[in-house]
Structure formats: C-alpha cells, structure tokens
Amino acid sequence: MHNALAAGACVVSAAVSMLALEVLRHGAEPLGLVDRPSERKHHAGHVPLVGGMAIFLGIVAGAWWRGYLETHPQLRVILATAAVLVLLGALDDRFHLSVRVRLLVQVSVTVLAIAGTGIYVRTLGDLFGAELNLGWAGVPFTVFAVIGLLNAFNMMDGIDGLLGSLCLIGVGAAWLLDGFRGASGFQGIALLIVAAVLPFLVRNLGPARYKIFMGDAGSMVTGYLLAWMLIQIGQTLPARNPPADALWCVALPLMDIVAVTCRRVRQGKSPFRPDRGHIHHLLLAAGLAPRAALACLVGLAVILVLLGVFVHTFGNTTSLLVFCGLTVVYATVTNVVWMWQQGMARVVISSKRTTMRLLKKARHGRLHEIKTTLDMAEQTPIFPAMKEKSRE
C-alpha cells in the first residue's frame, strides 16, 4: 500500500510538471521570462525560463496527493519557504535583481525555515576522535550551507541537461549512502524531485523549438530542497552515516563554486560576478560539443559519488579530508586551465587585429610597413616564460 501511494504521488508529480511546462511555455514571452543570447549565453533563439516553476508545481502536487502537507509539518514549512525562492528566481529572471537583494531574501527564507522546522546542523559527527557539536553556531552554519548549495546549483546551470542531471545524481547519491532511514518524509520529497525533474529534462534536451530552461527559480529551488534533504538525513538520530557524506552527494557543484569563488576573490572581483570560468565553460572552450561536455560532467559527478561511497567506509574524518583535498586539486587544475585559455584568447584576438591591419596596409600597397610589423611580431613573446627564454 505504501509503495502504491508513493508511485501514485510520483505519477501526479510528473504529470503536473509536464502539463505546467507546456502551459507556462506559452506565457513566458508575455511575462518576459525568456533567455536571450548574449556574450555569455550562446544558445539559439529566445528560450522560456519556466522549468523551475513547473518542477516546483509538480513537487507540491505530488506532496499534496501523498498527504505530506498534512502529516509532515516540517515539509510544509520547507515547501512554503521554497515557494518564496521560486518567486524570487522568477523576478530575478525578469528584472535581474541585485546580488544584495537576492542574498537578503535567501538568508531570510532560510532563517524562517530553521525557526519553523527546528532543523539545523547540530553536529558535524565524529571528527579526529571526538564528537563536534556546533551548539548555537549550528544556525549560522546551516544558513551558510543552504545558501552556498543553492547558489552552487545556480552557477552550474550553464549547459542543457546539466542541472537536472545533477539533481538526479544528488538524490541517487543520498539514497545510496543513507537509504533515507529515519527521514521518511524527506524520502518522499526526494522521489517527487526525481519525478518532477524528468519531464523537464526531456524538454531541456529536446529540439530547439520546444526547449525550456530552468531559470533562476529552478536552480534556486532544487538546490534549496536538496540542501534541506541532506541536512535532515545527516542530522536524523541516531546518526547512521557520517555528516560528511552529504558533501559527496553534491560534490561537483560544491567543488566548482569553491574554485570559482577563490579565483574571483583573488582577482579582486565579486564572487557573484558572472564569467565563463565554470567547469562547463572550460570544456566548451576546449572544443567539446555541449552534449560531450554534459556526458563528461555527469560522468565526473558519478565518479565523485562512487568515491564518496568508498571513503565512507573509513569514517567521517577521512571522508572529509579526502573531500577537502580533492577540492583543492579541482580548484587548482580548473583555475590553471582557465588562465591558460584566457591567455590563448588574448593571443587570438591580438592575431586577428594584426591580420586586419596587414590586410588594410596591403590594399594600399604599403609593403615596407607590413615587413616592419612582421619583424616586430617575431620579436614579441606571447607568454612571460617565452620572454625569459628569449633572453637566454
């Protein structure tokens, strides 16, 4: 009976999500909820940004059908606060809200969720042989964790299918590492997330004329719901799994936001200033097609989860240390690749400008100036390392 009700809720969630995608797609243009190509966005045409709203409606419909809204007051609070983030994301897609406004709402919503549910990170488990209880510090730690994850998901939304796939991987990883023991309500929400995301993935990866993006509403709400799901699983008593396991469930988004944030801060920029330095941008700049980049990133996310399952057997301390070590390696490698690509891009731009000047001079028969320009180009090193070598 329980399995039948869960299956019915998933069917309702998927059906409502599918219907909402079609209905909202037609209203996206009048509402201004469309994504247009730009310097950072290289898709074709105007794409509706309503996927996140459809996913959320599907999750709520499934939760209502299953009776979670009545039997699980904590989930009711989480979904109510998530609705505020959906509205915030839609407004951001339409009006491009400032970072300060977005962070203020995100912090307020998270604090309300903590106050309404009583759920927050109370302990980090056994670290170096002792239980690390956070006490009152668990509240700001939880706020930081939730906002960090939802923004990590927001920043990873760069190629078709990536964010939806990471949602499915996160839920699957949580199931693999924990089995949702002791957190039945959140187990149900996890299944509803999967059911609601699948119809979106079909549209997101489908033909261009039917394509739909999640938008900020989708990236925020999926990251938010996954964050609370992982917190509840890690804090369920008696603890059956190290809390560090939660990091492995969403390893790729977390590692990427740490790498990008460190690079931007080192450059004196805001961590929220967008650029093309995320891992999916690096793969595309390296020449991979979008589907090939998606396959690589999904494969990497799965490998990280499997590694987390392996180190899970060695305890919480080892799991956390391995995760931190891999994050440092990831940040170092991706930032080196980004700097190399930026250097190559400057060389290409410089070469194009030189070529245009030479062609202009050739048209006017100024051959002596062309020879002078070529001689200067030969004497100009591309990178500092080449300059040192030339001096030798």
Q: Mean pLDDT per 10-residue run, the chain (392 residues)?
A: 81 97 93 77 74 97 93 94 97 94 97 95 86 92 96 92 96 80 68 96 90 94 94 68 85 96 92 89 93 97 95 90 97 93 69 61 55 51 40 36
Residue located via tokens 């977005």: 102
In terms of Cβ atoms closer than 10 Å to its own Cβ (0-12, 13-18, 19+), residue 120 is: buried
Q: What is the pLDDT of residue 381?
A: 45
pLDDT at 265: 93
What is the pLDDT at residue 274?
Answer: 85
Pairing of strands 123-127, 130-133: antiparallel
SS (H, E, C) 171-206: HHHHHHHCCCCCCHHHHHHHHHHHHHHHHHHHHHCC
